Amino acid sequence: MDFSWFQLVAIAPEIVLTIGACALFLFDLAIPKHEKDKLGYFAIGILAVAFYGSWKLAAVETEIFSGMFTLDPYATYFKMLVYLAGALTILLSMTYLEVEKIHLGEYYGFILLATAGMMVMVSAGDLIMIYLGLELLSISLYIMAGFKRHESRSVEASAKYLILGSFSSAILLYGISILYGIAGTTNLKGLGAFFAAGAVDNPGLLLSMSFLVVGFGFKVAAVPFHMWTPDVYEGAPTSVTAFMIAGTKAAAFAALLRIFFFALPSRQADWVWILAAMALLTMIVGNVAAVAQRNIKRMLAYSSIAHAGYVLVALASPQSPMAASSALFYLVVYALMNLGAFAVIIALTGKGEPRLDIADFAGLGFRRPFLGLAMALFMFSLAGFPPTAGFMGKFYIFSAAIEAQRVELAVVGVLTSVVSVYYYLRVTVVMFMRDPAAGAAPGPATPGVVLATAVAAAGTLYLGVYPTGLWELARESVRAILG
């Protein structure tokens, strides 16, 4: 493999993030504890530099490192989403870490490393590269989940995530090895050409695809690989949970979609029923289990499982030209809704008081009208009410399912969305129809939390009223993998 300066330039954003993370680890040793917030601003600066590099490379479509790394509109689309998730998470974290007294500078370094891992995943043109990006992301999240070392729940969350995540990674790698044994390559384009050339009568093929689904099913918290999600999301620091919900799912779905829609479209009959069954189970279990939750983080954890099911509906409808585009559109909407909701949760957090019970939100709409209205908007959008972005996201996904003649997926999606109205509106009822004296007093409205909430709220409302721009961008992006 010949080295060229262009290859180095092409991965410059990932290099910037990695070097920035290493610099943060070093700066953390020299900066006093009361000035750790400066490292957050430094991390945002690193993200801005990497974003500029990705923006300048947005028009480039090429493969480098013998096809292991791809630059195309599809990768750029997800990189912009990852940057958004990373920046909003850092804004939330500067407040949250101060309140929880875990303001450790290396936290921001791990966010940058996790972001770099996501970017490698979405740009990967090879299964091995996808795996390397996934491991960089996962190891960073294992550490971040246990950042509240003084709390047993956080340590437990980190341990559970590490153990189960290691098993899922091993299963994924085993699936990759079997696929390599069958096709003789791990390159996605090479796999696509091999399977398109003719029928492959090998029982190991179905096994390998099943293992791939299991590995990615864990990362996106799809049923039946979701059992870790409520405990890990509840025990991890709230800002880390927000980052996991918004970023990890996007990167995992980006890789999953590229594998099945680009490398294995000719084997559609072998994998579409697996994704369809998983979508049905995920929507039902996620929504039904969320109804019984009183802890807001556990409720949003089960909610995230349900929303993974909605995205799987799109992936299980490959016959529709709208399928991939609707998944891309929904992942952006999903990130905005959840990051906004967690921003409000962090605003309510007090020193030594997590305030995670839904009853703690009593009267929030009167105490802090901006936070109350923003949270109501996010809940309405998650439930799929017009004119929010959540409604448009579900509309596109269910339309794709109907167009692909997967009516059962659309029907179950609509019915489970009706179930979700109960637990989402319960939060709104508590905020506006309960005695404010019964709720917890929100903390100071710090600029970072206010900005993150405002950005998420504006995006959620704008994409509900004017979805065309993002929809067209999603359609242009998927052409890179669908042709």
pLDDT score at 50: 92
pLDDT score at 4: 67
Which residues constitute the domain of residue 241?
A: 5-482
**Full 3-state SS string of the chain:** CCCCHHHHHHCHHHHHHHHHHHHHHHHHHHCCHHHCHHHHHHHHHHHHHHHHHHHHCCCCCEEECCCCEEECHHHHHHHHHHHHHHHHHHHHHHHHHHHHCCCCCHHHHHHHHHHHHHHHHHHECEHHHHHHHHHHHHHHHHHHHCCCCCCHHHHHHHHHHHHHHHHHHHHHHHHHHHHHHHHCCCEHHHHHHHHHCCCCCCHHHHHHHHHHHHHHHHHCCCCCCCCCHHHHHHHCCHHHHHHHHHHHHHHHHHHHHHHHHHHCHHHHHHHHHHHHHHHHHHHHHHHHHHHCCCEHHHHHHHHHHHHHHHHHHHHCCCCCCCHHHHHHHHHHHHHHHHHHHHHHHHHHCECCECCCEHHHHCCHHHHCHHHHHHHHHHHHHHHCCCCCHHHHHHHHHHHHHHHCCCHHHHHHHHHHHHHHHHHHHHHHHHHHHCCHHHCCCCCCCCHHHHHHHHHHHHHHHHHHHCCHHHHHHHHHHHHHHHC
CA–CA gap between residue 74 and residue 78 (Å, rounded) = 7
pLDDT score at 354: 66
Domains of the chain: total: 1
- Summarised one tens digit per residue, pLDDT across range 34-88 is 667 778 888 999 999 999 988 988 887 888 888 888 888 999 999 999 999 999 9
444 preceded by cis ω (within 30°)? no
pLDDT score at 5: 63
pLDDT score at 34: 67
Query: Can you read off the two tokens belonging to residue 190?
Result: 């090479």
Low-confidence residues of the chain, pLDDT below 70?
Answer: 1-6, 33-35, 103, 199-200, 350-354, 436-445, 483
The percent of residues in the chain predicted with pLDDT above 70, rounded, is 94
Helices 296-315, 323-348: inter-axial angle, 10-degree rounding: 170
Whether the full predicted model's pTM is greater than 0.85, yes or no, is yes
CA–CA gap between residue 426 and residue 449 (Å, rounded) = 23
pLDDT score at 265: 85
pLDDT score at 388: 92
CA–CA gap between residue 282 and residue 361 (Å, rounded) = 28
